[in-house]
Chains A and B, each alone.
Chain A
Amino acid sequence: MRYSDYLNQVNVRHRTVSYNLLTSKSKSKDKGSLTPPKIELSAKQAFDLLAPYCSSRIMEQVKAVVPLAAYLMIFQILVLRHPIEAALILCLGLIAVIIGLAVFMEGLSTGLMPFGTIIGDNLPKKASMPVVLCIIGILGVGVTFAEPAIGALQAFGSSVDVNAAPYLYEILNNWTMPLVLMVGGGVGIAAILGTIRFVRGWSLKPMIYGALFPVVLLTIYAWLDPNLKSILGLAWDCGAVTTGPVTVPLVLSLGIGIANAAGKGNSSLSGFGVVTMASLFPILAVLVLAIFVSLTISPGEIIAAAKMSAITIQTEPSIWEKTPLVEIVLGVRAILPLVLFLMAVLFLVLKSSLPNRMITIYGLVLSIIGMCIFNIGLTYGLGAIGSQTGSVLPAAFMELPISQFSPIYPELVGLAIVIGFAFLLGFGATLAEPALNALGITVQNLTNGAFKKEMLMYSVASGVAIGIALGISKLVLGFDLMMVLLPLYGVGVLLTIISSEEFVNVAWDSAGVTTGPVTVPLVLAMGLGLGNAVSAVEGFGILSLASICPIIAVLTMGVVIRIMNKSQDSSTEDEIVSDALVKDQS
């Protein structure tokens, strides 16, 4: 290229400055003057830095929340022909969800995650194995409290009818603290077992069988008890709620650090399995709690107590129970114990200091603020739109007092529309989940490209979609959750037996990955709203079905791919042989 051509293509000014002029000169022997000074920024420069930082984080959450909320709203207006009530508050609530999640996730990665990494790297060197396991167990409880979606469980407790499901009402209203503690304890045990698994290099299969056995046993016990039956949906849903954006990375970073220190961290699969355990043990814990409650109080007492409190509650809620404050208290209560515990471990056990104090504290403050804003958004945004759509949904096929057009469609068409709606909701929500994309890439690398990323994403998404559709039809048609759930788990176990270890790891983890902080509250609220509208006993169970279906989907894909690979392997061998023959001839 000629220099004149080059000049024609260039439209910016150039100048050259010697770097020597910019670096500090050592005139005196003072070493301190050599370190570069702190950078002072003008407001404009600070804005240039802050604008992309904020917008990229908010856009990430907008992508997760807006399509789902828009889908629900458009469906409600166009198909169900029902106006959106309190649209302004709803939109403000959704904005609160977006901002809250963005702030919380940023706080998580700058504040909480460094703790996890430091503790995971250093703890095994300074403490004995039992101490390490103990700390991990307590951490499991802490992260469960900090999980954004767990607030959803507590928030929707009041919508349960005490007469139809006394124990469910009792646990959700008067035993919320023990409930979350038990779920946390389940996660803690799962984290301990997962870590031992990392270190010893155990296979996941026997652990799944071992964990499922007592779960199924207790489930059958509760199933046979007519009063306890209503708790099953909640118990199985708890497994899906726990494995969210706080638990998974924090527990994993600890576990992987410990496995590295023990010298067994080189397996490509060491990161998997904890999520599976963390979604099975809480089921067990909740069932144990329910059985404990059933032994202490009779249903009659609960109903009587509920009637009493219904009278007294109308006196006046204290200022702490009013809207902005109660969410803030919940938010602080969710994060603070975890932070205090992590700090205690860091300072007392490891005797080290914070890595980058100012940024870490900033991150911790962000995570608390984010949690509070998210809690407000949960009540007025996600929860409200979910329960609103859920309660209008049956208008498609049956007469509802709140909808003047109902029934809008003939019964069968309406049912098909509702189930199709649920299917699409699950499919879209899952594909949008960023964790699924990450899992897809891991799996693709793990299987050397045999299991394509898109293939995993679509099989998980269709699994979740089928699960949610099944869950909705369970509420609408009123069949028994366990009649579907237990056979599905049976199929899952059967497929686990014949699948290879890699696929078992991936498949069982994929269920936990798909249930993020946006999907869980939305689906829970929708289920409860729908349950109330069709006067089902309880609206839980959708999430549990949305957990097992992707497991089966991925396992099936794994088996299919292995069969295909086998036939392909033999054909590629043929090709190599024929290639060699061709070369010989030439």
Chain B
Amino acid sequence: MSNRTITYLSNACMITCVVQNNLAETVLEAAKNSGAQGATINYARGTGVRERLGLLGVTIDEQKEVIRIIVSEDQADLIFEAMFLAGKLDTPGKGIMFMTKLDRVATYIPDAVLNSIE
């Protein structure tokens, strides 16, 4: 056996939030202020509402930013809500977000952090 170990994190959720181009920054800020540790942002192209709106569809940017954040279950609801409110997802055309439960998460965890919880 090698002396390397993998520490699995359980009770983790992933929040995915799709917003119009250039709106990710405010959503991220809100997530970090409510305890999110980090985030991954992708660029993507969206379709759907833009076509169904007719001419008003021009107001919706085809370019999207997809934010993915891994959070603990305890934080999840609070961060989800903060992101929703910051992104003003309750107004039309802003974006969509969802949360999924993760089976396991692994990354580098400093020894000091691990020792402190044991």
Residue ranges of A at the interface with B (Cβ–Cβ < 8 Å): 1, 6, 9-10, 12, 36-39, 41, 45-46, 48-50, 52-53, 106, 110, 356, 358-359, 362-363
Contact B92 A359 (CB under 8 A): no
- CB within 8 Å for A39 and B49 given contacts A45-B92, A362-B55, A362-B58: yes
Question: Could you say which of A6, A45, A48, A358 contacts B55, with CB atoms under 8 Å apart?
Answer: A358
10 closest A-B pairs by beta carbon, nearest first, are: A53-B59, A49-B59, A39-B52, A1-B74, A48-B91, A45-B92, A49-B93, A38-B52, A39-B53, A359-B58
Query: Is B29 on the interface with A (CB-CB < 8 A)?
Result: no
A171 to chain B, nearest CB (A): 41
A45–B94 Cα distance when bound, in Å, is 12
A284 to chain B, nearest CB (A): 39
Contact B78 A41 (CB under 8 A): no
Chain B residue nearest in CB terms to A38: B52
Query: Is B13 on the interface with A (CB-CB < 8 A)?
Result: no
Which residues does chain A contribute within 8 Å of B51, judged by CB atoms? 356
In residues 45-67 of chain B, which contact A (Cβ within 8 Å)?
Answer: 48-49, 51-60
Contact A10 B52 (CB under 8 A): no
Which residues does chain B contribute within 8 Å of A106, judged by CB atoms? 58
A53–B52 Cα distance when bound, in Å, is 18
B112 to chain A, nearest CB (A): 21
The B contact surface, by secondary structure, is helix
- CB within 8 Å for A10 and B59 given contacts A1-B74, A36-B52: no
Chain A residue nearest in CB terms to B92: A45
A-B pair count, CB < 8 Å, reads 50
A49–B58 Cα distance when bound, in Å, is 10
Contact B85 A48 (CB under 8 A): no
Known: A1-B75, A45-B92. 18 other contacts (CB 8 A): A1-B78, A6-B77, A6-B78, A10-B77, A10-B78, A12-B85, A48-B91, A48-B92, A48-B93, A49-B56, A49-B93, A50-B56, A110-B58, A356-B51, A358-B55, A359-B57, A362-B55, A363-B58
B91 to chain A, nearest CB (A): 5
Query: Is B25 on the interface with A (CB-CB < 8 A)?
Result: no
Interface centre among A106, A359, A362, A363 (most CB of B within 10 A): A359
Chain B residue nearest in CB terms to A46: B56
A344–B51 Cα distance when bound, in Å, is 26
Which residues does chain B contribute within 8 Å of A6, judged by CB atoms? 77-78
B66 to chain A, nearest CB (A): 20
Contact A50 B59 (CB under 8 A): yes
Query: 30 A–B contact pairs at CB < 8 A?
Result: A1-B75, A1-B78, A10-B78, A10-B81, A12-B85, A36-B48, A36-B52, A37-B52, A38-B53, A38-B54, A39-B49, A39-B52, A39-B53, A41-B92, A45-B92, A48-B92, A49-B53, A49-B56, A49-B59, A49-B92, A49-B93, A50-B59, A52-B59, A53-B58, A110-B58, A356-B51, A358-B54, A359-B55, A359-B58, A362-B55
B27 to chain A, nearest CB (A): 15
- CB within 8 Å for A41 and B58 given contacts A1-B74, A9-B78, A10-B81: no
A358–B56 Cα distance when bound, in Å, is 10
Which residues does chain A contribute within 8 Å of B53, judged by CB atoms? 38-39, 41, 49
Which residues does chain A contribute within 8 Å of B91, judged by CB atoms? 48
Chain A residue nearest in CB terms to B22: A56
Interface centre among B59, B60, B85 (most CB of A within 10 A): B59
Which residues does chain A contribute within 8 Å of B48, judged by CB atoms? 36
A310–B49 Cα distance when bound, in Å, is 59
Which residues does chain B contribute within 8 Å of A46, judged by CB atoms? 56
A388–B58 Cα distance when bound, in Å, is 39
A12 to chain B, nearest CB (A): 7
Which residues does chain B contribute within 8 Å of A356, judged by CB atoms? 51
A324–B52 Cα distance when bound, in Å, is 37
Which residues does chain A contribute within 8 Å of B58, judged by CB atoms? 53, 106, 110, 359, 362-363
Which residues does chain B contribute within 8 Å of A358, judged by CB atoms? 54-55
B65 to chain A, nearest CB (A): 15
Which residues does chain B contribute within 8 Å of A39, judged by CB atoms? 49, 52-53
A306 to chain B, nearest CB (A): 48
Which residues does chain B contribute within 8 Å of A53, judged by CB atoms? 58-59
B98 to chain A, nearest CB (A): 11
A372 to chain B, nearest CB (A): 20
Which residues does chain A contribute within 8 Å of B92, judged by CB atoms? 41, 45, 48-49
A73–B60 Cα distance when bound, in Å, is 37
Question: Could you say which of B55, B57, B75, B81 contacts A12, with CB atoms under 8 Å apart?
Answer: B81
Chain B residue nearest in CB terms to A363: B58
Which residues does chain B contribute within 8 Å of A45, judged by CB atoms? 92
A6–B76 Cα distance when bound, in Å, is 11
Which residues does chain A contribute within 8 Å of B81, judged by CB atoms? 10, 12
Which residues does chain B contribute within 8 Å of A363, judged by CB atoms? 58
- CB within 8 Å for A41 and B74 given contacts A12-B85, A48-B91, A49-B93: no
Interface string of B93-112 (1 = CB under 8 A from A): 10000000000000000000
Chain B residue nearest in CB terms to A50: B59
A476–B28 Cα distance when bound, in Å, is 52
Which residues does chain B contribute within 8 Å of A110, judged by CB atoms? 58
A12–B84 Cα distance when bound, in Å, is 11
B95 to chain A, nearest CB (A): 12
A461–B91 Cα distance when bound, in Å, is 40
Which residues does chain A contribute within 8 Å of B54, judged by CB atoms? 38, 358
Which residues does chain A contribute within 8 Å of B77, judged by CB atoms? 6, 10
A104–B78 Cα distance when bound, in Å, is 42
